[in-house]
Amino acid sequence: MIPRYAPKDVAALFSDERRFDTMLEVELLAAEALGQLGVVPPGDVVALRQRRPVVDEAFVEAVNQREEITNHDTAAFVDVVQERIGMPEGAWVHYGLTSSDVVDTALCVTMAAAMDIVMTEATALRDALTRRALEGADLPIVGRTHGVHAEPTTYGAKFALLALQVQRDLERCTRARAGIAVGKLSGAVGTFSNIDPFVESYVCERLGLTGVPATQVIARDRHAEVLYACTAIGTTIEQFALEVRLLARSEVGEVEEPFAPGQKGSSAMPHKRNPVVAERLSGLARVLRGYLQAGLEDVALWHERDISHSSVERVIVPDALQLTVYMLRKATWLADGLVLHPERALRNLTEGSLGLVFSQSVLLALVESGVARDDAYRVVQAAARTSVEQGRNFREVIESEDEVTLSDEALARAFDLDRLLVHRRRVLEALTWRA
């Protein structure tokens, strides 16, 4: 991931130093388990832990140099570890294991840790949207379907529905995190042919993982589920960002991205305050969807394994998790700082729509008065067209129609905004996590 979109805490999880250090811990825990089984002498187990090499930049460089000879990164890693621990104790490193035992288990440790950060940040976004939902519960705004004025809704409803979607994303993350918090140390094709099952149980328990049946590799549907959870979050964020972009258009003007002192919206036009963060989030959501496609294609491998997935995962797994956290943090910033213009929204709702948002209410009032529904529909539809073509207020047109014989009370009720939004706080009841 390029530094621009790489949160340092998540990037650190996927650094070569952290990767090799986690792999080393898997190796040492396996040796400890073998010691308990009487395979590795107790003194050698102690020596392995005492001589645990420091995994730093020099260590990584040594592995890279060794790989130029072995053309196998795990074999190069094992060679360097054994050399730095020294013989004869170092000979017990990687005893009875295959590369995927170490690499897959270590990767799952890292992915589970990254998902913990994802879930923390997703919770922060949900809570920010929830706060805005409560603040905007009584602020009316025109609802739009097909991009066209429909009926009134509220800012609060918009934020609440997004918060509920993030909550569903969190539930997906919980399942995906549980699915990836697994390990395997069962040997070359997963049959424990040269390693006792106790080793897998011992190592996984100490790493906070669950041992699972596997071939030579952990099944990649687990990794794909993590990528799906990330992509679902990205798509939710894109939905939020798209709403911001649409409502921030000059002719709408109902929201505005935060704009810091000294910020420039355009190099040429000083008046510009563009929704650039929302646009960035919309674009990055496309990248996440691409990673998901690649992750799904990694699921089907030849027989007990091939390594067609390996090169793909080295790119998409770190990038997807870093990008997800980056997007979550930016989306939370956007939710917290989004500037609302409720007065503009009310003006768009009433004057801007010419009152057409009340057309269904007028239709139902006519039906209640005894007019056949189809006849009432045609009367209201024609009046709405007249309102648009002549730029006249819809209520004025309706009141001038001979076919409309509604009482003043019925008309007032039909054009009563508070009546249409009487249940506006019901959606807030679904935000069960709010304080």
- Whether 266 sits among the annotated catalytic residues: the reply is yes
- Whether 146 sits among the annotated catalytic residues: the reply is yes
* Cα three-residue angle 22-28-31, rounded to 5 degrees: 145
Q: Which of 193, 266, 369, 400 is catalytic?
A: 266
Q: Which of 146, 271, 303, 423 is catalytic?
A: 146
**C-alpha closest to that of 196 among 40, 11, 430:** 40
Task: Name residues whose C-beta falls within 8 Å of residue 150's C-beta, 6 or more positions apart in sequence.
Answer: 142, 143, 144, 357
**C-alpha closest to that of 39 among 195, 193, 187, 190:** 195
Distance of CA 434 to the CA centre of its chain: 20
**How many angstroms separate the CA atoms of 369 and 380, rounded?**
14
> Alpha carbon of 70 to those of 66, 74, 313, 314: distances in Å?
6, 9, 21, 19
Residues involved in catalysis: 146, 266
